[in-house]
Structures are given as structure tokens and as C-alpha cells.
Amino acid sequence: MAKENTAKTTEANETIEMTKETLPTAAELMAEIESLKSQLAEAKSGSSTGRKDQVLQVLREHGHISVQKIAKLVGITDKNVSSQMTALRKAGHAIGTDSRGFKFLENPAASKENAAPETE
């Protein structure tokens, strides 16, 4: 019985040590949090225009496309796609909806003219 308990204790200690090696330290976690905060701040500073541009580009490239597919391609929610399209319409882009519910640019050439100038 003592041998069995010693073996289990040894096995448990080895498992603990292996776990310690794979877990990040508190300092590593804090550094990751700070990095993520910085990335979030950068994304928020210009993300709205960027998302609108991305949605507009997807509409140009794909023609008739579902909101769900746009969301997947851009990496945002369906609701956010709808919000971006509302903003694009307010900016003068004519976005239509076909009989299947797919979105499309009614006049892609005009949308290119309305597009913000590209920056380098």
C-alpha cells in the first residue's frame, strides 16, 4: 500500500511539474494583456472606416452576396455588416437587395468614384 501511494504521489508531482512548465507566468500574461490592449486601441482608432472599406470591397468583388458571407469574409458579425452598409448608404453608395436577400452595388462605377482616396 505504501509503495502504491508513493507511486501515485510521484506521478502527481510529475504532472504538476509538467503543468507548471506549460502555463504562462503572471508577467507573461500581463505582457499579453498590454499587447492586446494596444492592438484594440489601434483597431478602434480607425476600424470603422476600415470595415466600411472592407465591406465595400467585398461587394465590388463578389457582386450579389449574402450578409452572412460578407461577415465571414470581413471577420465581423452580421449585425455589424448591416451597420456598415447603413453607413455606406449614408456616404452615397447605392446598395441594393435582390429577391434572395443578397446585397449588391447598384452602380459599382459610382461606388468607385465615391470611394475615399487610397493612402500609401
CA dist 60 and 101 (Å) reads: 17
H-run or E-run covering 55: helix 26-62
* Per-residue cell: 47: 476600424
C-alpha cell at 115: 470611394
Q: Domain 2-114: which topology?
A: Arc Repressor Mutant, subunit A (1.10.10)
Residue 33, all three cell numbers: 494583456
pTM of the complete model: 0.53
Q: Averaged over 12-18, what is the pLDDT? A: 80
What's the pLDDT tens digit per position in 50-108?
A: 889 999 999 999 989 999 999 999 999 999 999 999 999 999 999 999 999 999 999 87
In terms of Cβ atoms closer than 10 Å to its own Cβ (0-12, 13-18, 19+), residue 35 is exposed
- Cell numbers given for 74: 470581413
Query: What residues does each domain of the chain span?
Result: 2-114
